[in-house]
Chain A
Amino acid sequence: MADKSFIVPKSIAVAERLKDRKAAFLAGGTEINRLGSYVDAKTLISIGRLGLDTVNDAEIDGVPCLRIGATVTFQECVENEKVPAWFRTACLFMSSRTKRNMATIGGNVALARDDSYLIPSLVASGSLVEFASGRVMSVAKYVKDHYRYTNRLIVAIYVDPQVRVEAKRYSNTAAGHAYVTVAVSSNGDVAAQIKGAGLIDTSEISNSLDRSEKACLKWIKNLKNPKVRNDMYGSSAYKRYLTGVTVATLSEKIREASK
Protein backbone atom coordinates (compact mmCIF):
# COMPACT_ATOMS: atom_id res chain seq x y z
CA MET A 1 0.00 0.00 0.00
CA ALA A 2 2.80 2.43 -0.92
CA ASP A 3 0.34 5.11 -2.03
CA LYS A 4 -1.37 5.40 1.36
CA SER A 5 -0.41 7.13 4.58
CA PHE A 6 -0.97 5.82 8.10
CA ILE A 7 -1.60 7.96 11.16
CA VAL A 8 -1.93 7.00 14.80
CA PRO A 9 -3.79 9.91 16.41
CA LYS A 10 -3.23 10.67 20.07
CA SER A 11 -6.86 11.37 20.82
CA ILE A 12 -10.38 10.96 19.51
CA ALA A 13 -10.57 14.68 18.80
CA VAL A 14 -7.43 14.53 16.67
CA ALA A 15 -8.77 11.49 14.83
CA GLU A 16 -11.92 13.36 13.88
CA ARG A 17 -10.01 16.45 12.80
CA LEU A 18 -7.91 14.33 10.45
CA LYS A 19 -10.89 12.75 8.77
CA ASP A 20 -11.80 13.98 5.34
CA ARG A 21 -13.15 12.43 2.16
CA LYS A 22 -9.85 10.83 1.34
CA ALA A 23 -9.30 9.33 4.77
CA ALA A 24 -10.80 6.35 6.54
CA PHE A 25 -10.92 5.28 10.15
CA LEU A 26 -9.02 2.00 10.56
CA ALA A 27 -10.35 -0.25 13.30
CA GLY A 28 -10.08 -4.03 12.85
CA GLY A 29 -9.07 -3.72 9.21
CA THR A 30 -11.12 -6.66 7.98
CA GLU A 31 -12.85 -4.47 5.39
CA ILE A 32 -10.29 -1.78 4.54
CA ASN A 33 -7.39 -4.20 4.19
CA ARG A 34 -9.15 -6.92 2.28
CA LEU A 35 -8.67 -7.53 -1.43
CA GLY A 36 -11.43 -5.91 -3.41
CA SER A 37 -12.55 -3.61 -0.62
CA TYR A 38 -14.71 -0.75 -1.86
CA VAL A 39 -13.18 1.54 0.78
CA ASP A 40 -10.74 3.70 -1.15
CA ALA A 41 -8.78 5.94 1.19
CA LYS A 42 -5.44 7.70 0.84
CA THR A 43 -5.04 8.17 4.59
CA LEU A 44 -5.72 5.54 7.22
CA ILE A 45 -6.43 6.86 10.71
CA SER A 46 -5.80 4.07 13.18
CA ILE A 47 -8.33 4.17 16.03
CA GLY A 48 -7.35 0.91 17.68
CA ARG A 49 -5.57 2.53 20.61
CA LEU A 50 -8.01 5.31 21.53
CA GLY A 51 -9.59 3.45 24.43
CA LEU A 52 -12.81 2.61 22.59
CA ASP A 53 -12.61 -1.06 23.54
CA THR A 54 -14.63 -1.25 26.75
CA VAL A 55 -18.05 -2.67 27.62
CA ASN A 56 -19.83 -0.79 30.41
CA ASP A 57 -23.19 -0.37 32.05
CA ALA A 58 -24.65 2.98 31.10
CA GLU A 59 -27.85 4.99 30.99
CA ILE A 60 -29.63 6.82 28.21
CA ASP A 61 -32.38 9.18 29.42
CA GLY A 62 -32.46 7.33 32.70
CA VAL A 63 -32.92 3.94 31.03
CA PRO A 64 -30.24 1.35 31.85
CA CYS A 65 -28.38 0.04 28.85
CA LEU A 66 -25.06 -1.45 27.85
CA ARG A 67 -22.43 0.68 26.15
CA ILE A 68 -20.17 -1.30 23.81
CA GLY A 69 -17.12 0.59 22.60
CA ALA A 70 -16.65 0.88 18.85
CA THR A 71 -13.39 -1.06 18.72
CA VAL A 72 -14.64 -3.97 20.83
CA THR A 73 -14.22 -6.99 18.61
CA PHE A 74 -16.88 -9.51 17.66
CA GLN A 75 -15.10 -12.19 19.70
CA GLU A 76 -14.78 -9.96 22.75
CA CYS A 77 -18.55 -9.55 22.64
CA VAL A 78 -19.04 -13.31 22.30
CA GLU A 79 -16.91 -13.87 25.41
CA ASN A 80 -18.50 -11.12 27.51
CA GLU A 81 -21.47 -12.35 29.51
CA LYS A 82 -22.73 -8.80 29.98
CA VAL A 83 -23.45 -8.66 26.25
CA PRO A 84 -27.01 -9.86 25.57
CA ALA A 85 -27.35 -13.32 24.08
CA TRP A 86 -28.96 -12.02 20.88
CA PHE A 87 -26.04 -9.71 20.25
CA ARG A 88 -23.58 -12.54 20.78
CA THR A 89 -25.59 -14.64 18.33
CA ALA A 90 -25.32 -11.88 15.74
CA CYS A 91 -21.55 -11.75 16.31
CA LEU A 92 -21.38 -15.51 15.78
CA PHE A 93 -22.91 -15.03 12.33
CA MET A 94 -19.28 -14.32 11.45
CA SER A 95 -18.15 -17.91 11.23
CA SER A 96 -14.39 -17.37 11.40
CA ARG A 97 -13.06 -17.11 14.94
CA THR A 98 -9.89 -15.53 13.59
CA LYS A 99 -11.85 -12.83 11.81
CA ARG A 100 -14.04 -12.29 14.86
CA ASN A 101 -10.82 -11.52 16.75
CA MET A 102 -10.27 -8.60 14.38
CA ALA A 103 -13.63 -7.25 13.22
CA THR A 104 -15.06 -4.50 15.41
CA ILE A 105 -18.63 -3.63 16.34
CA GLY A 106 -18.23 0.00 15.35
CA GLY A 107 -16.58 -0.92 12.07
CA ASN A 108 -19.41 -3.20 11.05
CA VAL A 109 -22.03 -0.55 11.81
CA ALA A 110 -20.04 2.28 10.24
CA LEU A 111 -19.71 0.42 6.94
CA ALA A 112 -23.49 -0.02 6.75
CA ARG A 113 -23.06 -2.90 4.33
CA ASP A 114 -26.15 -4.49 2.84
CA ASP A 115 -25.02 -7.83 4.26
CA SER A 116 -24.01 -6.58 7.70
CA TYR A 117 -23.79 -9.19 10.45
CA LEU A 118 -25.10 -6.88 13.15
CA ILE A 119 -27.30 -4.17 11.69
CA PRO A 120 -30.61 -6.08 11.44
CA SER A 121 -30.42 -7.17 15.09
CA LEU A 122 -29.34 -3.71 16.21
CA VAL A 123 -32.16 -2.04 14.28
CA ALA A 124 -34.83 -4.45 15.53
CA SER A 125 -33.67 -3.96 19.11
CA GLY A 126 -33.74 -0.17 18.86
CA SER A 127 -30.01 0.14 19.52
CA LEU A 128 -28.23 3.46 19.34
CA VAL A 129 -24.96 4.70 17.93
CA GLU A 130 -22.85 7.36 19.63
CA PHE A 131 -20.48 9.69 17.79
CA ALA A 132 -17.35 11.33 19.16
CA SER A 133 -19.29 14.58 19.50
CA GLY A 134 -21.57 12.88 22.01
CA ARG A 135 -24.52 12.86 19.64
CA VAL A 136 -26.61 9.72 19.84
CA MET A 137 -29.00 8.43 17.20
CA SER A 138 -30.72 5.18 16.37
CA VAL A 139 -28.77 2.66 14.31
CA ALA A 140 -31.72 2.67 11.91
CA LYS A 141 -31.36 6.40 11.26
CA TYR A 142 -27.61 6.11 10.93
CA VAL A 143 -27.87 3.34 8.34
CA LYS A 144 -30.48 5.28 6.37
CA ASP A 145 -28.35 8.44 6.24
CA HIS A 146 -24.85 7.08 6.77
CA TYR A 147 -23.42 8.96 3.78
CA ARG A 148 -23.93 12.15 5.75
CA TYR A 149 -21.82 10.92 8.65
CA THR A 150 -18.72 9.61 6.89
CA ASN A 151 -16.52 12.15 8.67
CA ARG A 152 -17.92 11.29 12.10
CA LEU A 153 -16.24 8.78 14.33
CA ILE A 154 -18.54 6.22 15.92
CA VAL A 155 -17.32 5.65 19.47
CA ALA A 156 -19.94 3.29 20.89
CA ILE A 157 -23.14 1.34 20.42
CA TYR A 158 -25.82 1.28 23.10
CA VAL A 159 -27.96 -1.81 23.42
CA ASP A 160 -30.91 -2.59 25.66
CA PRO A 161 -30.02 -5.70 27.67
CA GLN A 162 -33.68 -6.36 28.47
CA VAL A 163 -34.95 -6.66 24.92
CA ARG A 164 -34.96 -10.04 23.20
CA VAL A 165 -34.16 -10.51 19.55
CA GLU A 166 -34.49 -13.49 17.28
CA ALA A 167 -32.48 -13.28 14.07
CA LYS A 168 -31.70 -15.45 11.10
CA ARG A 169 -29.06 -15.03 8.43
CA TYR A 170 -29.08 -16.76 5.03
CA SER A 171 -25.93 -17.27 3.00
CA ASN A 172 -24.69 -19.95 0.64
CA THR A 173 -21.78 -20.83 2.90
CA ALA A 174 -20.79 -20.05 6.48
CA ALA A 175 -18.23 -17.52 5.30
CA GLY A 176 -20.30 -16.19 2.40
CA HIS A 177 -22.10 -12.89 2.16
CA ALA A 178 -25.61 -12.92 3.56
CA TYR A 179 -28.34 -12.44 1.00
CA VAL A 180 -31.15 -12.19 3.54
CA THR A 181 -30.94 -11.34 7.24
CA VAL A 182 -34.04 -10.89 9.36
CA ALA A 183 -34.40 -9.84 13.00
CA VAL A 184 -37.50 -9.55 15.16
CA SER A 185 -37.48 -8.10 18.66
CA SER A 186 -39.68 -8.47 21.70
CA ASN A 187 -40.54 -4.79 21.18
CA GLY A 188 -42.38 -5.91 18.06
CA ASP A 189 -39.94 -4.32 15.66
CA VAL A 190 -38.82 -6.10 12.50
CA ALA A 191 -35.64 -5.45 10.54
CA ALA A 192 -34.95 -7.14 7.22
CA GLN A 193 -31.83 -6.71 5.13
CA ILE A 194 -31.55 -8.01 1.57
CA LYS A 195 -28.30 -7.98 -0.40
CA GLY A 196 -28.53 -5.42 -3.15
CA ALA A 197 -31.46 -3.66 -1.49
CA GLY A 198 -30.17 -3.07 2.04
CA LEU A 199 -32.61 -2.56 4.90
CA ILE A 200 -36.11 -2.70 3.51
CA ASP A 201 -39.10 -0.82 4.83
CA THR A 202 -40.62 -2.97 7.58
CA SER A 203 -42.81 -0.30 9.19
CA GLU A 204 -46.03 -1.90 7.96
CA ILE A 205 -45.28 -5.38 9.29
CA SER A 206 -43.70 -3.99 12.47
CA ASN A 207 -46.99 -2.23 13.26
CA SER A 208 -49.11 -5.19 12.31
CA LEU A 209 -50.62 -7.50 14.90
CA ASP A 210 -51.00 -10.20 12.28
CA ARG A 211 -47.63 -11.89 11.77
CA SER A 212 -49.02 -15.03 10.27
CA GLU A 213 -47.12 -16.48 7.34
CA LYS A 214 -49.94 -15.45 5.04
CA ALA A 215 -49.86 -11.86 6.27
CA CYS A 216 -46.08 -11.64 6.10
CA LEU A 217 -45.95 -13.04 2.57
CA LYS A 218 -48.63 -10.60 1.47
CA TRP A 219 -46.71 -7.70 2.97
CA ILE A 220 -43.40 -8.60 1.34
CA LYS A 221 -44.98 -9.35 -1.99
CA ASN A 222 -46.53 -5.90 -2.12
CA LEU A 223 -43.39 -4.11 -0.98
CA LYS A 224 -42.31 -1.83 -3.80
CA ASN A 225 -39.40 0.17 -2.58
CA PRO A 226 -36.48 -0.63 -2.36
CA LYS A 227 -36.35 -3.02 -5.25
CA VAL A 228 -35.17 -6.54 -4.64
CA ARG A 229 -33.26 -7.80 -7.65
CA ASN A 230 -32.53 -11.13 -9.27
CA ASP A 231 -28.89 -12.05 -8.81
CA MET A 232 -26.52 -14.92 -8.10
CA TYR A 233 -28.03 -15.40 -4.66
CA GLY A 234 -31.49 -16.03 -5.98
CA SER A 235 -34.47 -14.48 -7.64
CA SER A 236 -36.28 -11.49 -6.26
CA ALA A 237 -39.32 -13.70 -5.61
CA TYR A 238 -37.22 -16.21 -3.67
CA LYS A 239 -35.62 -13.58 -1.46
CA ARG A 240 -38.96 -11.90 -0.79
CA TYR A 241 -40.50 -15.26 0.08
CA LEU A 242 -37.65 -16.12 2.39
CA THR A 243 -37.91 -12.76 4.13
CA GLY A 244 -41.65 -13.05 4.61
CA VAL A 245 -41.56 -16.59 5.95
CA THR A 246 -38.69 -15.77 8.28
CA VAL A 247 -40.48 -12.74 9.74
CA ALA A 248 -43.40 -15.00 10.52
CA THR A 249 -41.22 -17.74 12.02
CA LEU A 250 -39.15 -15.41 14.18
CA SER A 251 -42.25 -13.52 15.34
CA GLU A 252 -43.70 -16.84 16.48
CA LYS A 253 -40.48 -17.65 18.35
CA ILE A 254 -40.59 -14.32 20.15
CA ARG A 255 -44.24 -14.90 20.98
CA GLU A 256 -43.58 -18.38 22.36
CA ALA A 257 -40.64 -17.17 24.43
CA SER A 258 -42.71 -14.45 26.04
CA LYS A 259 -45.35 -16.91 27.33
Chain B
Amino acid sequence: MKINCIINSKPRTFDVDPTMKLRELLLLNGNIAVRDSDDSEGFCGSDTVLVDGVPVYANLVLAGEVEGCEIRTPDGLADPAHLTVIQQAMIDAGIVQSAYNAPAAALLLTWLLENNPDPSREDIKDALSGIFIRDAGYEHYYLAVKLAREKMKHGQYKSEIAPSFRPELEVIGKPLSKIDGPQLVAGAPAFTEDYVDKNTCHMVVLRSPHASAYINSIDLTEAKKVEGVVEILTAYNTPETHYMQAGQGNPEPSPHDRRLFNLKVRHVGDRVAAVIAETEEAAEKACSLI
Protein backbone atom coordinates (compact mmCIF):
# COMPACT_ATOMS: atom_id res chain seq x y z
CA MET B 1 0.00 0.00 0.00
CA LYS B 2 1.22 3.50 -0.81
CA ILE B 3 1.36 5.71 2.24
CA ASN B 4 1.64 9.45 1.67
CA CYS B 5 2.37 11.50 4.74
CA ILE B 6 4.41 14.43 5.97
CA ILE B 7 7.22 13.69 8.40
CA ASN B 8 8.82 16.66 10.12
CA SER B 9 7.45 19.01 7.45
CA LYS B 10 8.78 16.90 4.57
CA PRO B 11 6.37 15.03 2.25
CA ARG B 12 7.14 11.33 2.08
CA THR B 13 5.77 8.37 0.17
CA PHE B 14 6.26 4.76 1.20
CA ASP B 15 5.17 1.54 -0.44
CA VAL B 16 4.88 -0.76 2.54
CA ASP B 17 2.73 -3.32 4.27
CA PRO B 18 0.00 -1.17 5.86
CA THR B 19 0.07 -3.35 8.99
CA MET B 20 3.64 -2.30 9.66
CA LYS B 21 3.94 -0.39 12.91
CA LEU B 22 4.38 3.35 12.51
CA ARG B 23 7.63 3.15 14.44
CA GLU B 24 9.06 0.73 11.86
CA LEU B 25 7.98 3.10 9.09
CA LEU B 26 9.70 5.99 10.82
CA LEU B 27 12.85 3.92 11.23
CA LEU B 28 12.78 3.31 7.47
CA ASN B 29 12.75 7.09 7.15
CA GLY B 30 15.76 7.36 9.44
CA ASN B 31 13.94 8.69 12.51
CA ILE B 32 15.91 6.69 15.06
CA ALA B 33 14.91 9.03 17.88
CA VAL B 34 11.55 7.24 17.93
CA ARG B 35 12.88 4.68 20.34
CA ASP B 36 11.50 1.27 21.04
CA SER B 37 9.84 1.00 24.41
CA ASP B 38 10.18 -2.72 23.83
CA ASP B 39 6.87 -3.18 25.54
CA SER B 40 4.49 -2.28 22.69
CA GLU B 41 1.96 -1.79 25.45
CA GLY B 42 1.70 1.94 25.33
CA PHE B 43 3.42 2.24 28.68
CA CYS B 44 7.06 3.33 28.57
CA GLY B 45 6.46 6.09 26.08
CA SER B 46 9.81 5.97 24.30
CA ASP B 47 7.95 5.70 20.98
CA THR B 48 5.93 8.90 21.40
CA VAL B 49 5.35 10.93 18.24
CA LEU B 50 2.81 13.57 17.18
CA VAL B 51 0.29 12.58 14.51
CA ASP B 52 -1.75 15.54 13.30
CA GLY B 53 -0.66 17.42 16.39
CA VAL B 54 -1.68 14.71 18.87
CA PRO B 55 0.79 12.66 20.94
CA VAL B 56 0.44 8.93 20.25
CA TYR B 57 2.52 5.78 20.66
CA ALA B 58 4.15 4.88 17.36
CA ASN B 59 4.22 1.19 18.30
CA LEU B 60 0.43 1.17 18.62
CA VAL B 61 -0.30 2.86 15.29
CA LEU B 62 -0.23 1.05 11.96
CA ALA B 63 1.36 2.57 8.87
CA GLY B 64 -1.93 2.36 6.98
CA GLU B 65 -3.57 4.68 9.48
CA VAL B 66 -1.24 7.62 8.80
CA GLU B 67 -2.11 8.07 5.14
CA GLY B 68 -2.45 11.81 4.65
CA CYS B 69 -1.26 12.59 8.18
CA GLU B 70 1.37 14.99 9.45
CA ILE B 71 3.87 13.40 11.79
CA ARG B 72 6.44 15.02 14.05
CA THR B 73 9.20 13.06 15.67
CA PRO B 74 11.70 14.09 18.37
CA ASP B 75 14.58 14.26 15.90
CA GLY B 76 12.61 16.80 13.92
CA LEU B 77 12.85 19.33 16.73
CA ALA B 78 16.51 20.17 16.24
CA ASP B 79 19.96 18.65 15.82
CA PRO B 80 22.58 18.33 18.59
CA ALA B 81 24.37 21.44 17.39
CA HIS B 82 21.29 23.66 17.49
CA LEU B 83 19.10 22.62 20.37
CA THR B 84 15.75 24.22 21.02
CA VAL B 85 15.19 26.26 24.16
CA ILE B 86 13.23 23.37 25.66
CA GLN B 87 15.89 20.78 24.92
CA GLN B 88 18.61 22.97 26.44
CA ALA B 89 16.44 23.66 29.46
CA MET B 90 15.99 19.92 29.94
CA ILE B 91 19.76 19.46 29.99
CA ASP B 92 20.27 22.40 32.33
CA ALA B 93 17.55 21.22 34.72
CA GLY B 94 19.25 17.83 34.96
CA ILE B 95 16.54 15.64 33.46
CA VAL B 96 18.72 14.31 30.65
CA GLN B 97 20.44 11.41 32.38
CA SER B 98 20.14 7.90 30.99
CA ALA B 99 17.98 9.77 28.52
CA TYR B 100 16.41 6.91 26.62
CA ASN B 101 13.11 8.76 26.85
CA ALA B 102 14.55 12.28 26.73
CA PRO B 103 13.71 12.78 23.03
CA ALA B 104 10.10 11.73 23.65
CA ALA B 105 9.92 14.00 26.69
CA ALA B 106 11.35 16.88 24.65
CA LEU B 107 8.67 16.35 22.03
CA LEU B 108 5.91 16.27 24.62
CA LEU B 109 7.13 19.39 26.41
CA THR B 110 7.44 21.17 23.07
CA TRP B 111 3.89 20.14 22.23
CA LEU B 112 2.71 21.26 25.67
CA LEU B 113 4.23 24.73 25.45
CA GLU B 114 3.04 25.22 21.88
CA ASN B 115 -0.53 24.54 22.96
CA ASN B 116 -0.38 25.91 26.50
CA PRO B 117 2.33 28.55 27.01
CA ASP B 118 1.50 28.87 30.72
CA PRO B 119 0.99 25.32 31.96
CA SER B 120 0.29 24.48 35.57
CA ARG B 121 2.08 21.66 37.38
CA GLU B 122 -0.94 19.45 36.74
CA ASP B 123 -0.78 20.27 33.02
CA ILE B 124 2.89 19.31 32.92
CA LYS B 125 2.21 16.12 34.86
CA ASP B 126 -0.62 15.23 32.52
CA ALA B 127 1.43 15.89 29.39
CA LEU B 128 4.17 13.60 30.65
CA SER B 129 1.80 10.93 31.96
CA GLY B 130 2.41 8.88 28.83
CA ILE B 131 6.08 8.38 29.65
CA PHE B 132 6.87 5.92 32.38
CA ILE B 133 10.63 6.13 32.66
CA ARG B 134 11.48 9.66 33.63
CA ASP B 135 14.96 10.49 34.80
CA ALA B 136 14.98 12.58 37.96
CA GLY B 137 11.30 12.32 38.91
CA TYR B 138 8.87 15.23 38.59
CA GLU B 139 10.40 18.30 40.20
CA HIS B 140 13.17 18.77 37.69
CA TYR B 141 10.66 18.50 34.85
CA TYR B 142 8.71 21.39 36.34
CA LEU B 143 12.02 23.28 36.58
CA ALA B 144 12.85 22.51 32.95
CA VAL B 145 9.53 23.97 31.82
CA LYS B 146 10.06 26.99 34.05
CA LEU B 147 13.53 27.59 32.67
CA ALA B 148 12.31 27.22 29.09
CA ARG B 149 9.52 29.73 29.65
CA GLU B 150 11.92 32.19 31.25
CA LYS B 151 14.34 31.88 28.35
CA MET B 152 11.54 32.39 25.83
CA LYS B 153 10.17 35.40 27.67
CA HIS B 154 13.28 37.11 29.03
CA GLY B 155 16.08 35.71 26.91
CA GLN B 156 17.75 34.19 29.99
CA TYR B 157 17.07 31.99 32.99
CA LYS B 158 15.76 33.82 36.04
CA SER B 159 15.54 30.82 38.35
CA GLU B 160 18.41 29.20 40.13
CA ILE B 161 19.04 25.76 38.67
CA ALA B 162 20.99 24.43 41.65
CA PRO B 163 23.08 26.00 44.39
CA SER B 164 26.77 26.49 43.75
CA PHE B 165 29.51 25.66 46.27
CA ARG B 166 33.30 25.85 46.56
CA PRO B 167 33.82 29.11 44.66
CA GLU B 168 37.52 28.41 44.33
CA LEU B 169 36.83 25.34 42.18
CA GLU B 170 35.63 25.21 38.59
CA VAL B 171 33.83 21.86 38.42
CA ILE B 172 33.27 20.44 41.89
CA GLY B 173 30.24 21.93 43.58
CA LYS B 174 28.96 23.52 40.36
CA PRO B 175 25.73 22.81 38.46
CA LEU B 176 27.10 21.54 35.16
CA SER B 177 25.26 20.16 32.17
CA LYS B 178 25.81 16.57 31.05
CA ILE B 179 28.50 16.54 28.37
CA ASP B 180 26.58 14.24 26.05
CA GLY B 181 23.26 15.91 26.88
CA PRO B 182 22.78 17.50 23.43
CA GLN B 183 23.35 14.20 21.65
CA LEU B 184 20.93 12.39 23.96
CA VAL B 185 18.08 14.89 24.08
CA ALA B 186 18.16 15.42 20.32
CA GLY B 187 17.84 11.68 19.74
CA ALA B 188 21.12 11.42 17.85
CA PRO B 189 22.77 7.97 17.70
CA ALA B 190 23.87 7.19 21.22
CA PHE B 191 22.71 3.71 22.21
CA THR B 192 23.91 0.33 21.00
CA GLU B 193 20.74 -0.21 18.98
CA ASP B 194 21.47 2.96 16.99
CA TYR B 195 24.57 1.40 15.51
CA VAL B 196 23.16 -1.94 14.45
CA ASP B 197 23.37 -2.54 10.70
CA LYS B 198 20.23 -3.42 8.76
CA ASN B 199 21.63 -6.83 7.82
CA THR B 200 22.46 -7.87 11.34
CA CYS B 201 21.15 -11.22 12.51
CA HIS B 202 18.35 -11.44 15.04
CA MET B 203 18.31 -13.44 18.23
CA VAL B 204 15.23 -14.82 19.95
CA VAL B 205 15.56 -16.50 23.33
CA LEU B 206 13.51 -19.53 24.37
CA ARG B 207 12.61 -19.16 28.01
CA SER B 208 11.57 -21.59 30.68
CA PRO B 209 7.90 -21.85 31.64
CA HIS B 210 9.00 -23.59 34.85
CA ALA B 211 10.27 -21.93 37.98
CA SER B 212 12.73 -24.66 38.92
CA ALA B 213 13.58 -27.51 36.62
CA TYR B 214 16.32 -29.59 35.02
CA ILE B 215 16.59 -29.75 31.25
CA ASN B 216 16.72 -33.43 30.27
CA SER B 217 17.27 -32.85 26.56
CA ILE B 218 16.78 -30.26 23.84
CA ASP B 219 15.74 -31.32 20.33
CA LEU B 220 16.85 -28.78 17.74
CA THR B 221 16.22 -30.93 14.67
CA GLU B 222 13.15 -29.14 13.33
CA ALA B 223 14.30 -25.74 14.47
CA LYS B 224 17.56 -25.98 12.54
CA LYS B 225 15.65 -26.71 9.34
CA VAL B 226 14.07 -23.24 9.30
CA GLU B 227 15.55 -21.22 6.49
CA GLY B 228 17.68 -18.40 7.71
CA VAL B 229 18.72 -19.97 11.00
CA VAL B 230 22.41 -19.36 11.59
CA GLU B 231 22.98 -21.00 14.95
CA ILE B 232 21.13 -22.19 18.04
CA LEU B 233 22.84 -21.85 21.40
CA THR B 234 22.10 -24.06 24.39
CA ALA B 235 23.91 -25.32 27.46
CA TYR B 236 25.31 -28.12 25.29
CA ASN B 237 27.31 -25.88 22.98
CA THR B 238 28.27 -22.86 25.05
CA PRO B 239 31.28 -22.48 27.36
CA GLU B 240 30.97 -23.42 31.02
CA THR B 241 32.29 -20.02 31.95
CA HIS B 242 30.74 -18.58 35.09
CA TYR B 243 30.23 -14.86 35.57
CA MET B 244 28.27 -12.36 37.62
CA GLN B 245 25.45 -10.91 35.55
CA ALA B 246 24.68 -7.90 37.73
CA GLY B 247 28.27 -6.64 37.92
CA GLN B 248 28.36 -3.39 39.84
CA GLY B 249 31.97 -3.06 40.88
CA ASN B 250 35.53 -3.91 39.96
CA PRO B 251 36.65 -6.28 41.31
CA GLU B 252 33.12 -7.69 41.41
CA PRO B 253 32.49 -9.04 44.92
CA SER B 254 29.29 -10.95 44.10
CA PRO B 255 29.60 -14.70 43.38
CA HIS B 256 30.15 -15.67 39.77
CA ASP B 257 27.19 -18.02 39.65
CA ARG B 258 25.73 -17.42 36.21
CA ARG B 259 26.27 -19.40 33.02
CA LEU B 260 25.15 -18.28 29.61
CA PHE B 261 22.94 -21.35 29.48
CA ASN B 262 22.51 -23.94 32.18
CA LEU B 263 20.93 -27.35 32.37
CA LYS B 264 19.10 -26.13 35.46
CA VAL B 265 16.56 -23.32 35.09
CA ARG B 266 15.90 -21.31 38.21
CA HIS B 267 12.91 -19.11 37.41
CA VAL B 268 10.10 -18.67 34.94
CA GLY B 269 11.75 -16.92 32.03
CA ASP B 270 15.22 -18.35 32.60
CA ARG B 271 17.14 -18.90 29.37
CA VAL B 272 16.88 -22.30 27.69
CA ALA B 273 18.11 -21.64 24.16
CA ALA B 274 18.86 -18.78 21.79
CA VAL B 275 18.11 -18.88 18.09
CA ILE B 276 20.19 -16.67 15.84
CA ALA B 277 18.71 -16.15 12.40
CA GLU B 278 18.81 -13.78 9.47
CA THR B 279 15.35 -12.42 10.24
CA GLU B 280 13.32 -12.03 13.38
CA GLU B 281 10.52 -14.10 11.84
CA ALA B 282 12.88 -17.01 11.16
CA ALA B 283 14.27 -16.83 14.67
CA GLU B 284 10.81 -16.83 16.23
CA LYS B 285 9.63 -19.69 14.05
CA ALA B 286 12.69 -21.77 14.89
CA CYS B 287 12.21 -20.97 18.57
CA SER B 288 8.71 -22.36 18.44
CA LEU B 289 10.03 -25.60 16.94
CA ILE B 290 12.55 -26.33 19.68
Which of A28, A29, A34, A46 is close to B41, meaning CB atoms less than 8 Å apart?
Answer: A34
* Interface size grouping (class) on chain B: 20 to 34
Number of A-B contacts (CB under 8 A): 84
Chain B contacts of A44 at CB under 8 A? 19, 62
Question: Which of A6, A35, A102 is B56 in contact with, Cβ under 8 Å?
Answer: A102
Chain B hits for A26, CB < 8 A? 62, 65
Main secondary structure of the interface of A (DSSP, over half): loop
In the complex, whether B127 has a CB less than 8 A from a CB of chain A is yes
User: Bound complex: CA of A98 vs CA of B104, how far in Å?
Assistant: 11
A102 and B19: CB pair below 8 A? no
A1 x B17 contact (CB < 8 A): yes
Question: B129 and A97: CB pair below 8 A?
Answer: yes
Q: Is B43 a contact of A102 with CB atoms below 8 Å?
A: no
For B88, what are the chain A residues with a Cβ–Cβ distance below 8 Å? none
Please, which residues of chain A bring their CB within 8 A of the CB of B62? 1, 6, 26, 29, 33, 44, 46
Q: Count contacts on A: residues with CB < 8 A to the other chain.
A: 26
Selected from A6, A98, A175, the residue in CB contact (under 8 A) with B64 is A6
A101 near B54 (CB under 8 angstroms)?
yes
For the complex formed, measure the closest distance between the CB of B112 and the CB atoms of chain A, giving whole angstroms. Answer: 10
Find residues 119-151 in chain B having any chain A CB closer than 8 Å to their own CB.
126-127, 129-132
Asked if A257 lies at the interface with its beta carbon under 8 angstroms from chain B, I say no
Which residue of chain A has the shortest Cβ distance to B64 in the bound complex? Answer: A6
Determine if B193 is an interface residue (Cβ-Cβ < 8 Å). no
Q: Judging by beta carbons under 8 Å apart, are A34 and B19 in contact?
A: no
| Contact (A34, B55) CB under 8 Å given A6-B19, A97-B129 | no
Q: Which 9 A-B pairs have the closest CB atoms?
A: A98-B130, A1-B19, A35-B40, A6-B18, A96-B130, A6-B64, A33-B60, A4-B19, A97-B129
User: Using a CB–CB distance below 8 Å, which chain A residues touch chain B?
Assistant: 1-2, 4-6, 8, 26, 28-30, 33-36, 44, 46, 48, 95-99, 101-102, 174-175
Chain B contacts to A: CB under 8 angstroms: 1, 17-21, 39-43, 45, 48, 54-57, 59-62, 64-65, 67, 108, 126-127, 129-132, 281
